[in-house]
Amino acid sequence: MSLSSELTAALKKEHEEICSFDFPLSRRTTLKIGGPAEVLIAPKTTDEVVQIVQLALQHGAPIFALGGGSNLLVRDGGIAGVVLCSRQYRGIEVDGKTITVESGASTGKVLKMAMKHSLGGVEFLGGVPGTIGGGMIMNAGTYLGEFKDVTTWVETIDLMTGKLGKRTNEQCGFVYRGSDIPRSEFVLRARLDLEPRDLEDIKKDVAGLRQRRKEREPSGVHNSGSTFKNPEGDYAGRLIETAGCKGMRVGKAECSPKHANWLVNTGGATAKDMIQLIEQVRTKVLEFHGVKLVLEVKVVGND
């Protein structure tokens, strides 16, 4: 246990409405896998975020930032300390060609807002689940674009020091499915710089992306999207399929027969199941192709 009795008492006294103790994180990840958070806290304002971080630091409790849980595998032992969840921290403001958005806003909501104002540049969000905060850290995207193409700046709070910071696009260090924004920081807000575009053209691109995903990706199972990053010049799905991994199972975790780079929870899978399957797929691809796959999904928590 990482929460002192003093911190527990302070949280219950000052922030009881936004705190959930011993909260099952399987309810906050799209894989529907994960042990409990010692305490899950879902602030609604920047002031509440700052207060929670300062309070946790004063009492020496570790803090973990949780967004939409769409790219996360939480181990069965859960996460000790404070899990700071952004799902209620989701304001959006539009000013001309810019959208300023808090980290907990869903990618779908941001796309909808851009379409409402006929702003182009975030059509790629039609194929990206989760929230803006996680999307920034991962530089999420599709063939239509990624966050690095539209981000002006990102504001964060350091979960180890409580310091507020602001990075320009260049300082974010965006790369393919990653950035220099450390996971020890909680994204507060980001500004997106978009361009006016005909609404029908935006709708056409988004519809095409969504149809492509519908045709290629499994449905009816819990998943985190692509499990592995594509190696340079190739596709993880092709490597996994040709290595004979499609349909491979460990417990209720499965290498999807529809898309090999989607390792899915068919119902009741544990993190142990999924991690064993990940390692088996990695091993077979390495043996067959000589390529060591790199995880896109983030594995966190305790065994």
Q: Which DSSP letter does residue 123 get?
A: G
Cα distance between residue 197 and residue 277, in whole Å: 44
Helix (H) or strand (E) segment spanning residue 299: strand 298-300
- CA–CA dist 246, 254 (Å, integer): 8
Q: Is 177 noted as a catalytic residue in this protein?
A: yes
What does the alpha-carbon distance between residue 295 and residue 224 come to, in Å, rounded to a whole number?
12
Separation between Cα atoms, residue 38 and residue 19, nearest integer Å? 10
Q: Answer whether residue 211 is part of any domain.
A: no
Q: Could you tell me the CATH number of the domain that includes residue 33? A: 3.30.43.10
Per annotation, catalytic residue among 2, 20, 177, 184? 177
Q: What is the CATH number of the domain that holds 185?
A: 3.30.465.10
Which regions of 139-211 does DSSP assign to beta strands (E)? 141-142, 145-146, 151-158, 164-168, 185-193, 195-196
CA distance 91 to 264: 31
Q: Which residues pair with 180 in a beta bridge?
A: none
The dihedral sign for the CA sequence 263, 268, 274, 276: negative
Do the Cβ atoms of 70 and 129 come closer than 8 Å?
yes
Please check whether residue 40 lies inside any domain of the structure.
yes
Whole-model pTM above 0.85? Answer: yes
Q: Note if 226 is an active site residue.
A: yes
Q: Give the span between the Cα atoms of 248 and 191, in whole angstroms.
A: 42
Q: Which of 146, 185, 254, 296 is catalytic?
A: 296
The domain tally of the chain equals 3
Give the CATH number, domain containing residue 232.
Answer: 3.90.78.10
Amino acid at site 300: V
Catalytic residue among 70, 224, 226, 256: 226
Q: Are the CB atoms for 264 and 221 separated by under 8 Å?
A: yes
Give the pLDDT of the chain (303 residues) as one tens digit per residue.
689 999 999 999 999 999 999 999 999 999 999 999 999 999 999 999 999 999 999 999 999 999 999 889 999 999 999 999 999 999 999 999 999 999 999 999 999 999 999 999 999 999 888 899 999 999 999 999 999 999 999 999 999 999 999 999 999 999 998 999 998 999 999 999 999 999 999 999 999 999 988 888 888 899 998 999 999 999 999 999 999 999 999 999 999 999 999 999 999 999 999 999 999 999 999 999 999 999 999 999 998
Q: Starting at the earlier edge strand, list the strands of the sheet with 249-250.
A: 249-250, 253-255, 263-265
Q: Indicate if 42 and 80 belong to the same structural domain.
A: yes
pLDDT at 218: 85
Residue 185 lies in a domain: yes
- Residue 1: per-residue pLDDT: 62
Residues contacting 230, CB < 8 A, separation 6+: 176, 236
Q: Give the end of a domain, one of 85, 120, 148.
A: 85
Whole-angstrom Cα distance, residue 118 to residue 124? 15
The answer to whether residue 209 is domain-embedded is no
Instruction: Give me the domain span that covers residue 141.
Output: 92-201
For this structure, is 296 an active site residue?
Answer: yes
Query: Are 159 and 185 a contacting pair, CB within 8 Å?
Result: yes
- Is the domain of 58 the same as that of 155? no
Residue 65 in tokens: 């930032």
Domain finish residue from 38, 60, 85: 85
| CB of 166 closer than 8 Å to CB of 181 | no
